[in-house]
């Protein structure tokens, strides 16, 4: 999914030089490099460079002073938009950049009329809850959403309702 225009951080607590923009082909290697340590620590699912290249149109990146420090993939389904490969460089974490990327995803979802943002996460559930997501209990997960959990991975599924929130976007 592509954004129409970059989002420039300017909210309280975020550095103004942070920019969220659609990923470009040349970003794929940087996204793979950024993601690698999170794959090793089991926080992200392994994706090949080939897959990242093929899905580049679904990816957004965050840059700080022109340096790529964050990424997020967004897959569009009829029942919602699914966040994947979402990570922020360790030395850039805690500055609101992850929040900026999720806000960006929510804005895109509302604009395209999607009902919800979905995220499967093994270790960052509390972060999503803080951002207004709610955990979907395993027994309440519709069968067609189970694929987002990657069988056997042990992730939980979180959702952010998009259409019941007031927004000027
Ligand atoms: C989760 C992640 C994307 C958040 O990005 P970020 O830019 O650091 O997030 P923000 O700066 O917007 O938010 C920081 C806040 O979240 C908290 N936080 C960070 N990781 C957290 C986690 N795993 N669980 C709960 N809270 C977390 C920080 O302590 C901070 O709290 P504060 O605002 O009270 O100080 C980032 O920590 C990351 O890349 N984690 C590793 C990869 C990962 O787990 N990705 C999610 C896969 S679905």
Q: Is 123 in the pocket of ligand 1 (CB under 6 A)?
A: yes
> In this structure, is residue 134 part of a structural domain?
yes
Q: Is residue 88 lining ligand 1, measured as CB closer than 6 Å?
A: yes
The pLDDT value recorded for residue 79 is: 86
Ramachandran area for residue 114 (φ above 0: left; ψ -120 to 50: alpha; else beta) = beta
Q: Band the pLDDT of 116: cuts 50, 70, 90.
A: very high
| Least trusted range by pLDDT, from 1-5, 35-39, 62-66, 126-130 | 1-5
User: pLDDT-derived band of residue 165, with 50, 70 and 90 as boundaries?
Assistant: low
Whether residue 46 lies inside any domain: the answer is yes
List the 67-77 sheet strands across, edge first: 7-8, 18-22, 59-64, 67-77, 80-88, 116-121, 156-161, 134-136
Quote the pLDDT of residue 37.
96
CATH number at residue 35: 3.40.630.30
Mean pLDDT of the region 72-96: 95
Query: Which residue has tokens 């040349």?
Result: 26
Instruction: Please state, rounded to an integer, the average pLDDT across all residues of the chain.
Output: 89
CA of 42 relative to ligand 1 center, distance in Å: 15
Which residue in 24, 27, 46 sits closest to 35, CA to CA?
46
Q: Is the pLDDT of residue 2 over 60?
A: no
Q: What one-character-per-residue DSSP string does 105-131 give? A: HHHHHHHTT-SEEEEEESS-HHHHHHT
Does the C-beta of 38 come closer than 6 Å to ligand 1?
Answer: yes
Q: Quote the pLDDT of residue 17.
A: 87
* Cα of 150 from ligand 1 centre, angstroms: 21
Cβ of residue 84 lying under 6 Å from some atom of ligand 1: no
Interatomic CA distance for residues 126 and 132, integer angstroms: 10
What's the pLDDT at 4? 44
Longest CA–CA span in the chain (Å) reads 44
Number of domains present in the structure of the chain: 1
Q: Which atom of ligand 1 is nearest the CA belonging to 89? A: 39
Q: Decide: 99 in ligand 1 pocket, CB within 6 A.
A: yes
In the chain, what percentage of residues exceed pLDDT 90?
A: 76
Has residue 106 been placed in a domain?
A: yes
> How many Cβ atoms sit within 10 Å of the Cβ of residue 39?
15
Helix, strand, coil percent values for the chain (each to nearest 5): 35, 30, 35
The answer to the question of residue 153 being in a domain is yes
Provide the residue range defining the domain that includes 97.
7-161
Which pLDDT tens digit goes with each residue over 20-63?
999 999 999 999 999 999 999 999 999 999 999 999 999 999 99
Domain membership flag for residue 82: yes
pLDDT of 164 above 80? no
Is 45 part of any domain? Answer: yes
Dihedral (CA of 114, 38, 30, 92) sign: positive
98 lines ligand 1 (CB under 6 A): yes
Write down the pLDDT at residue 169. 54
Instruction: pLDDT band for 103, please (50, 70, 90 cuts).
Output: very high
> Is 50 exceeded by the pLDDT of residue 1?
no
């Amino acid at each position: 999914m592509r954004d129409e225009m970059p989002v420039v951080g300017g909210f309280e607590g975020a550095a103004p030089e942070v920019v969220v923009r659609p990923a470009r082909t040349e970003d794929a290697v940087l996204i793979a490099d950024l993601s690698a340590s999170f794959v090793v620590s089991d926080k992200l699912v392994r994706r090949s460079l080939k897959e990242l290249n093929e899905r580049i149109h679904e990816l957004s990146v965050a840059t700080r002073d022109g340096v790529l420090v964050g990424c997020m993939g967004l897959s569009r389904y009829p029942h919602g938009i699914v966040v994947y490969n979402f990570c922020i460089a360790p030395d850039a974490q805690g500055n609101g950049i992850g929040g900026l990327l999720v806000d960006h995803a929510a804005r895109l979802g509302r604009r395209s009329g999607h009902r919800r943002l979905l995220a499967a996460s093994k270790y960052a559930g509390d972060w999503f809850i803080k951002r207004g997501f709610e955990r979907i209990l395993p027994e309440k997960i519709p069968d067609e959403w189970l694929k987002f959990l990657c069988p056997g991975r042990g992730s939980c599924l979180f959702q952010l309702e998009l259409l019941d929130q007031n927004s000027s976007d």
